[in-house]
Amino acid sequence: MSAQKKLTRAEQKALRPAQILDAAFEEFVRNGFTATRVEDIADRVGVTKGTVYVYFETKEQLFEAMISHFSVAFHELLDNTDRLDGSVTDRLKAILGLLYDQIVEDRITRELLRLVISEGHRFPDLIDRHHDQFIAPIIAKIEDLMREGMSSGEFRQMPVEFSDIVVAPILTTTILRLIFDDRRARTPNKDAFMRAYFDLLLNGLLVRRS
Amino acid sequence: MSAQKKLTRAEQKALRPAQILDAAFEEFVRNGFTATRVEDIADRVGVTKGTVYVYFETKEQLFEAMISHFSVAFHELLDNTDRLDGSVTDRLKAILGLLYDQIVEDRITRELLRLVISEGHRFPDLIDRHHDQFIAPIIAKIEDLMREGMSSGEFRQMPVEFSDIVVAPILTTTILRLIFDDRRARTPNKDAFMRAYFDLLLNGLLVRRS
Amino acid sequence: MSAQKKLTRAEQKALRPAQILDAAFEEFVRNGFTATRVEDIADRVGVTKGTVYVYFETKEQLFEAMISHFSVAFHELLDNTDRLDGSVTDRLKAILGLLYDQIVEDRITRELLRLVISEGHRFPDLIDRHHDQFIAPIIAKIEDLMREGMSSGEFRQMPVEFSDIVVAPILTTTILRLIFDDRRARTPNKDAFMRAYFDLLLNGLLVRRS
Amino acid sequence: MSAQKKLTRAEQKALRPAQILDAAFEEFVRNGFTATRVEDIADRVGVTKGTVYVYFETKEQLFEAMISHFSVAFHELLDNTDRLDGSVTDRLKAILGLLYDQIVEDRITRELLRLVISEGHRFPDLIDRHHDQFIAPIIAKIEDLMREGMSSGEFRQMPVEFSDIVVAPILTTTILRLIFDDRRARTPNKDAFMRAYFDLLLNGLLVRRS
DNA sequence: TATGAATGAGAATTCATTCAT
DNA sequence: GATGAATGAATTCTCATTCAT
């Protein structure tokens, strides 16, 4: 607390941009780009409209800066996946577990996805960046694993270009949460969900006839 | 063309609401609720702002009317699923095929989903209606089939409450199409996709060890 | 009632203008000129906007026609005053009694006064007509009686140009009723009011010292 | 003039609300509530529409604020009446003289009365406030004096509930001025008017028979 | 005559943005 | 840097008026 108090004016100011970006995230997520008022963002920080314009030239630039600011977390995720070991199955499970944490349970990633879906038309390079930074690397990683599993004889042969299917339950869970939020109790228990997910993914629906 | 010309006032009038709803769909989908101007909708129909207000009291009511108007298609789908026969597997495949057509390939359903995601905060009963009319019946249908398959010995035992997982590839494909639209060639060939989807769903990733 | 029923279409139509003027009176009185919508007038009659325009070219003309239509009653009053007889005091009392009926108790005259006060700026000749038809003749009549009373020795000598003072209680009562309408119980009992009014007017406040 | 120039932003700002209220008074009085455009008020101040909305949330609130702002003068009048002395007649004369100044000659009070009459339907609590702050205290004051005069033997016995009659010439003069404004030379010379008014009020019309 | 769909000129209100302090 | 008064362009919604039927 005294640390809180010791903030010099200069330190205060150094924090401003981050505070504004945080506030912008909340407001843009709640209302979308057009329906968000710069003044609401300022109010949330406790400053006036003018102050926002000290740091960001326009509402559009603020939006884009906010998206960039909150799009960093994924890098760590992707880094982590490189350090895994064990069987292909083990590594696939580990990656999907990390993805679950990042996509389903991390509110920021989830809401960023909402903005990608709703504001994509207005900010087309948002889409491109999102694709290049998030979607493509994940898909590539999954495809690599599938290829590896197939050549090692662990996985059955199947076309690798549909690896969306493998991660689909994670994206779907996120989307349902985005839609129903906390209004409908749709959020599953992670462990139970992952167990059912892996079981189905690895073994399929059908009873195996020996 | 002469037919076009022959339209009487009365006929014109009977057409207006549908014309406006069509235009509203396009504009709301493109820009979202707030960023859509009533005048753009009017322009698209070829009338003036005032005319829109002859038929719809406010922009909000127009939005809601538009959603209702375009939310009808699903009923047929659900009706059709009742008439299927064959093994549980056959019927599951058939249903998932119908869902694919309705959710992935039907542009209206797809874009309605975008609006549910982006405007849900502003129109909360939109969410509720969407849940009750679309999500819940589908989930129920899938759960029924899974239960049937398990008790007939066709499917392995698994918890029925995660049947989202079964339809996830379809929702995921739709979401990716919503995001990348036609800007990235992500739209899969339906047959190849369905083949891979069913194969994975029914048999799983793992090689069966006899 | 059968008379009601027997109205031919032609008779119906002959009634239209009067119906519209009645409705216009109510709406203009309630809302003033600008805030009254032609459609509300039409609704009150049970026809559509267009019909009003069949009979009256513009909203302004309708307003003026309505004023003229309801400004007729006064003529009778003024005619009646010519037929009075008795002492000057008797005739003055009789005239003031008639004025009370006409100005305080007749809703139409009262509300017309409201419109004169509120819409005078917009319709300046409304003022002129009102002055020439209502105010001036009454004042003249009172002045005549005062002159007559003074020369007959019945009344004390006093300047005749302030005869407004003589009728003031009547106008004041009307104004208070216009303002407080039926929301405050300010409407006096006529007989008691007139008795007090005449007593004060004729004898004054002061005790007479013989 | 250089004073004009020296106005700092802060000083400007402190003045704005009053400037806007003044302008609002003029425009609302000229056109009534509905027919007054916010832009006209702004123009009169020399600012833009938006500026008016910086200070007042809606046109209705501006109207109400304006009424409140200009309804203060009466308090002084009522205070002054408490400090009078002399005979009941003297004090009655003094009060009526003050009322004349306030109601007939003060343009603001006069025009406020017009708004009370014309906008009463739309702003019902305007009426209530006007009654409680203006009408009721005056009537009460006059009634007190009449009671005092009657018990002191100065005035004849008469019902006190019609004291409206006593002030009627003042209200009537105001109303006539509101209606005919400066278009008809109806404004009386105050001294002559008051002399005639008091003479009639105190002594009545009739010649006294010793 | 009567209708009511359509118009288009406003009018209230909002809000991103600017700028003097 | 921070403020917040002021702007002005944009947007929703209204309504008198027209006109084909």
User: Cβ(D100)–Cβ(D168) under 8 Å?
Assistant: no
Contact A169 B168 (CB under 8 A): yes
Within 7 Å of a protein beta carbon, the nucleotides of strand E are 1-21
- Residue type at A87 in one-letter notation: S
The verdict on a CB contact (< 8 Å) between A172 and B167 is yes
B2-67 maps to which CATH number? 1.10.10.60
Residues of D in contact with C204 (CB under 8 A): 156, 200-204
Residue D195: how many CB atoms within 10 A of its CB? Answer: 14
Q: Does position C151 have pLDDT exceeding 80, yes or no?
A: yes
Which positions ≥6 away from A1 have C-beta within 8 Å?
A: none
Residues 6+ apart with CB under 8 A from D187: D177
**Based on the number of CB atoms within 10 Å of its own CB, is C15 exposed (0-12), middle (13-18) or buried (19 or more)?**
exposed
A203: contact with B, CB 8 A cutoff: yes
Closest-CA residue to B145 (of B208, B196, B99): B99
- Which residue ranges make up each domain of chain D? 2-69, 71-203
Amino acid at the residue C161 = E
Tokens representing A112 are 């960023």
pLDDT at C3: 44
Determine whether the interchain pair D164/C169 forms a contact, defined as Cβ–Cβ distance below 8 Å. Answer: yes
pLDDT 10s digits, D109-158: 999 999 999 999 999 998 888 888 888 889 999 999 999 999 999 999 99
Grouping H, G, I as helix, E, B as strand and the rest as coil, residue C29 is: helix
- Chain B contact for A202, CB < 8 A? yes
Mean pLDDT estimate for chain C:
89
Mean pLDDT across the stretch A57-83? 88
- Planar angle of CA A109, A110, A111, nearest 5 degrees: 95
Instruction: Give the fold, CATH level 3, of C71-203.
Output: Tetracycline Repressor; domain 2 (1.10.357)
**Contact status, residue D145 vs residue D95, Cβ threshold 8 Å:** yes
> Looking at the domain covering A2-69, what would its CATH class be?
mainly alpha
- B179 and chain A in contact, CB less than 8 A: yes
What does the CA dihedral B43, B44, B46, B50 come to, rounded to 10 degrees? -50
Question: Is D118–C120 a contact, with Cβ atoms under 8 angstroms apart?
Answer: no
Give yes or no for residue A3 having a pLDDT over 50. no
Instruction: Residue B156: list chain A partners with CB under 8 A.
Output: 203-208
Q: Which of residues 51-110 of B touch A (CB under 8 A)?
A: 89
Residue A75's nearest CA partner among A143, A145, A134 is A134
Spacing of A208 CA from E1 C1' in Å: 83
Tell me how close the Cα of B10 comes to any Cα of chain A, in angstroms.
38
Q: From the Cβ of B19, is strand E under 7 Å away?
A: no
D50: left (phi over 0), alpha (psi -120 to 50) or beta: alpha
Closest nucleotide to A55 by C1' from CA = F1
pLDDT at B1 exceeding the cut of 50? no
Q: Nearest to residue A134, comparing CAs of A112, A161, A119, A105? A: A112
Terminal CA-to-CA distance of chain D, rounded, Å?
Answer: 68
Question: pLDDT tens for residues D146-187?
Answer: 999 999 999 999 998 889 999 999 999 999 999 987 666 566
Q: Say whether A179 and B127 touch across the interface (CB within 8 A).
A: yes
pLDDT grade for C167, boundaries at 50, 70 and 90: very high
C116 close to D (CB below 8 A): yes
Q: Is some CB atom of chain D closer than 8 A to the CB atom of C185?
A: no
Is the confidence at residue D18, as pLDDT, over 60? yes
Say whether pLDDT at D78 is over 70.
yes
Report the amino acid identity of residue C18.
A
A179 → closest Cβ in B120, B159, B165:
B120
Per-residue model confidence (pLDDT) at position B151: 94
Q: What is the pLDDT of residue B39?
A: 96
Residue B6 has a pLDDT of 46
How many Cβ atoms are within 10 Å of A104's Cβ, its own excluded?
23
Residue A6 burial by CB count (10 A; 0-12/13-18/19+): exposed, middle or buried? exposed
* pLDDT on residue D5: 42
